[in-house]
Amino acid sequence: MNQSKRLFVSFFSILSLFFIFPSISKAEDSAGDFGIKPVFPENQIDKAIGYFDLLVAPEQNQILEVIISNSSDEERTFEVSVNPAVTSDGGTIDYSQKKTNVR
């Protein structure tokens, strides 16, 4: 019985080391190798924000301009598209929906 008790204590001692000294994972924190900045037109409501918030008349077209900076060492081609902002089910801003009924 004494030997099984020692084995039991040894097993849990080794197991507890995994909780005391967990493995450390390191991930690179990369913000990407490109940046995009809006060029605000005169009808931008608030130029202090980082997105387009424009005052436009119904059926009015608006050309939007952006500046793309490429900080990588190679030439790249970017495809830029406009997505409306909607509120997600979690209450955050979601720009991923390409087709909505928002007008």
- Secondary structure tally for the chain: helices H, strands E: 1, 4
Q: Name the residue with higher pLDDT: 2 or 93.
A: 93
CA 81, CA 74: separation in Å to the nearest integer?
22
Residues 29-77: pLDDT tens digits? 555 789 989 999 999 999 898 888 899 999 999 999 999 999 988 899 9
Residue 14: per-residue pLDDT? 72
pLDDT above 70: residue 24: no
What mean pLDDT is reported for the chain?
Answer: 80
pTM above 0.75, yes or no: no
Check residue 78 and report its DSSP letter.
-
4-18 as b/e: b if 16+ CB within 10 A: eeeeeeeeeeeeeee
